[in-house]
Homo-oligomer: A and B are copies of this chain.
Amino acid sequence: MQRCTFYHYWRSSASWRVRWALAIKGVEHDVVGVDLVAGEQSTPEHQARNPLGRVPALVLADGRSLAESVAILEWLEETVPAPALYPEDPWQRARTRQLVEIVNASVQPMQNISMLRRLSPEVPVQRAWAAHYNELGLGAYEALLGQIAAEGGGNGPFSIGDRLTAADLFLVPQVYGARRFQVDVSRFPRVLAAEAAARATPHAEAARPENQPGGSLG
């Protein structure tokens, strides 16, 4: 793949997933920060990269731009197959995508900052709402990990057996988010085991928000 340009925000969990995948697959790219606090995502230039006006966006050498972290990860898998982020077995691929969508469609959208601001100007209201959906989603993720183990799909330590998959790339940023909203993640032991296994893989730490330019632990 020719060198591409990755538009992200250091703390965005969807950006984190793609940043991590680009590193794992060794895709050469330039990085451009989009300052969500300053509203840079709403400029016409960025809307052309992602019509929803969000991050991330991946701009190819020929100028085409792809958004939606699920679409980017699946596209990377098809165009840069190794190292694989989806299992070979169709059923395990299906389980991977089920885990991915629990985070992508049922947790992250319910707690992104633009949605929370629309919900209420009161921070405690925002926090309670975000915590609820993190607890709901991580609880479902935990239950599904139990089902996967019971059906012989591997008993961890990763989300799917003994290898890092796309599911882990969605899980780790979400657990980080859940902690920010003061969710008691100790209730989810399989989730925490998968998070720990994923964080011990190469590229995991470099992809974290606090290790990006402009990132901090604030």
Contacts and interface: CB of A to CB of B under 8 A. Distances in A.
B75 A90 contact: yes
B151 A98 contact: no
User: Top 5 A-B pairs ranked by shortest CB distance?
Assistant: A71-B97, A51-B143, A75-B94, A51-B140, A68-B101
A97 B68 contact: yes
A71 B91 contact: no
A109 B98 contact: no
Stoichiometry, as copies per complex, reads 2
A204 to B, nearest CB: 24
Interface string A61-82: 0001011101110110011000
Contacts of A136: 52
Interface of A is mostly: helix
A106 interface: yes
- Interface size classification for chain A: 35 or more
A72 B78 CA distance: 19
Nearest to A132: B118
A108 interface: yes
Interface in A35-85: 47-48, 51-53, 64, 66-68, 70-72, 74-75, 78-79
Nearest to A136: B52
A66 B96 CA distance: 11
B97 A47 contact: no
Given A52-B102, A74-B97, 10 more contacts: A51-B139, A51-B143, A52-B106, A64-B91, A68-B102, A71-B95, A71-B97, A75-B94, A79-B90, A110-B115
